[in-house]
Structure 1
Amino acid sequence: MSTKEDKPVEHKTTWKDSIYNPRTGEFIGRTASSWALIVGFYLVFYAFLTGFFTLTMWVMLQTLEDDVPKYRDRVPSPGLVIRPRSLDIIFNRTNPKQYGPYVRHLESLLQQYNDTIQEQNELCMVNEYTEQDDVAEKKVCQFKRSLLRQCSGLADATFGYAEGKPCILVKMNRIIGLRPRGEPYVNCTAKRDTPLQMSYFPTEAKFDKMYFPYYGKINHPKYVQPLVAVQLLLAKEDYNTEIAIECKVEGSDLKNDDDRDKFLGRITFRVTVTE
């Protein structure tokens, strides 16, 4: 009597086998040894990349100095900024709540220029660079707040805003090693057909050479930038009208006419005083 041969048992493949196959021991298509090899490879690979990147950064940092840029072949021209920090100064001269933020901003800035603080600094030679390349602790030249006179906030705590004749403080951005040639001074003009009366303090509106060069935040921690105050002597007919004013650095080699950078050596702002 003949017997039929037993057929092998067929195992059906299910979706679970794609995650873990108990017959082959594969997990997500790989055996344990295969996973161990690939994980080990990537661990070694990324450890090498991390070490190489760290070494590269360490070598680069050894070439840099903490206080000044490594390469200063060309010292750029500085930009001009104004205080209060706004390009649209709008206020009612009879409303202290409106001009109060501008006044507080100016007062805060000028605290470091108080005469009692500046008297601790050095009296430097006028119109001469204060060279200190071989000096470890850089001295700071005096710039007293009282030099700004009507715009100092000492005689008039509102800086002229209550009278509708606001003061604007102009300063240059700090650039390490800058030595402007000539006699840089600030010149402001109103962008309109008729001129606008203005007063400058100090009266020459100069950024004196004694305040240059600047040696950086670490070497020159107490350095204060020279300021030029411009008081806009608005008349009654100037009220309730927006007036655009442009201030430039003139009289030196500093750039002020670059069409690609509207703030290089110049700045334009708008003032509107109402009553």
Structure 2
Amino acid sequence: MAKDGEKGEWKEFIWNPRTREFLGRTASSWGLILLFYLIFYIFLAGLFAITMYVMLQTLDDHKPTWQDRLSTPGMVIKPTADETFEIVYNVKHTESWDSYAQALDKFLSPYNDSIQAQKNHECTPDQYFRQEDSGDVKNNPKRSCQFNRTILEDCSGIHDRYYGYQEGKPCIIIKMNRVIGMLPGKDGQAPYVTCGAKREDSDKIGQLAYFPPNGTFNLMYYPYYGKKAQVNYSQPLVAIKFLNITTNEDVNIECKINANNIPDGSERDKFAGRVSFRLRINFNNN
């Protein structure tokens, strides 16, 4: 009988026909609770929407409001195999180096002189190309300077479609990572790239040729204003050609950026402003 009583109590709690209560509350009580939560969540949603609207008004579509400025930008080399920092091939085996030449062709195609002439501006060399806004009036889209593929001369792929790989004198391309607003160099002194072998390989690297001359990143390509503000921006490049590097051996190489206002890598990031890679050119039929 006790069980029947408990069962009856549960039924009456769910729906009491005498008091017309559902789960212990009348319809008007449930209505007031639902109305309270409806108003409460509408208020929260409205508060969130107003907060987001006010915050978005402070943002600029073309420039980040806050930026952790890198004191020393990173560097990248092309070509690379499977995102590894090594270039290894056999001169006698075309298939071992043809992918490097194709990768450079693909990378440099946007730098064709005809494309640059259509999209970009002929700038005055050796000075910053500043395009400041006028108060609240945004000077967008901003123009970009031409970086013509022919500047890379022997490493342009125009006169030598194999970029020297077929004769054991390969080219590599270096670019510096984009940093909005960065002015790399002061007093008219442009940043430049130097490459050298690690200490254990210092006698293996041989002669190097730099394109443009002295491995310079011309000042006219700076400052960079961001992807949306400068939609046609072409990053300046430096090419290095290895003229007589030791073959059939690993050569560990480091290239770094040199500028009178860019510090060397810090203790926290020793690879800032530099890139290291392994180069091995084999000359055998195996």
Q: TM tier, shorter chain?
A: 0.7 to 0.9
Assess, with a 3 A threshold, how the Cα gap between structure 1 residues 45 and 179 changes in structure 2: closer, same or farther: same
CA contact (8 A) 1:255 1:264 kept: no
**Paired positions, count:** 261
Displacement of 1:43 after TM fit?
5.2
Residue 244 (structure 1) aligns with: 252
Residue 77 (structure 1) aligns with: 72
TM-score normalized with structure 2 length: 0.79
Query: 65-74 or 79-88: which moved more?
Result: 65-74
Name the SS of the counterpart of 1:224 in structure 2: coil
- Please, what is the CA RMSD of the aligned residues? 2.9
Greater percentage in helix: 2
Residue 275 (structure 2) aligns with: 267
**Selected match of 1:194 from 194, 197, 203:** 203
| Counterparts of 2:281 and 2:204, CA distance in 1 | 17
Name the SS of the counterpart of 1:210 in structure 2: helix
Residue 14 (structure 2) aligns with: 25
Assess, with a 3 A threshold, how the Cα gap between structure 1 residues 263 and 21 changes in structure 2: closer, same or farther: same
Deviations 1:17-60 (A, max 9, x none): 5xx9213226xx94465877776665555544443333222211
CA contact (8 A) 1:75 1:177 kept: no
Name the SS of the counterpart of 2:167 in structure 1: coil
Matches within 5 A, 1:79-228: 79-85=74-80, 86=83, 87-120=85-118, 121-134=120-133, 135-181=139-185, 182-191=189-198, 192-194=201-203, 196-197=205-206, 198-228=208-238
Q: Which has the larger radius of gyration?
A: 1
Calculate percent identity across the aligned residue pairs. Answer: 41
Assess, with a 3 A threshold, how the Cα gap between structure 1 residues 40 and 144 changes in structure 2: closer, same or farther: same
AA partner of residue 130 (structure 2) = E
CA contact (8 A) 2:193 2:255 kept: yes
| Counterparts of 1:223 and 1:119, CA distance in 2 | 13
Structure 1: any 5+ residue segments left out of the alignment? Answer: 1-8
TM-score normalized with structure 1 length: 0.82
Deviations 1:189-210 (A, max 9, x none): 1112325122111122100101
CA contact (8 A) 1:138 1:219 kept: yes
Structure 2: any 5+ residue segments left out of the alignment? Answer: 16-21, 134-138
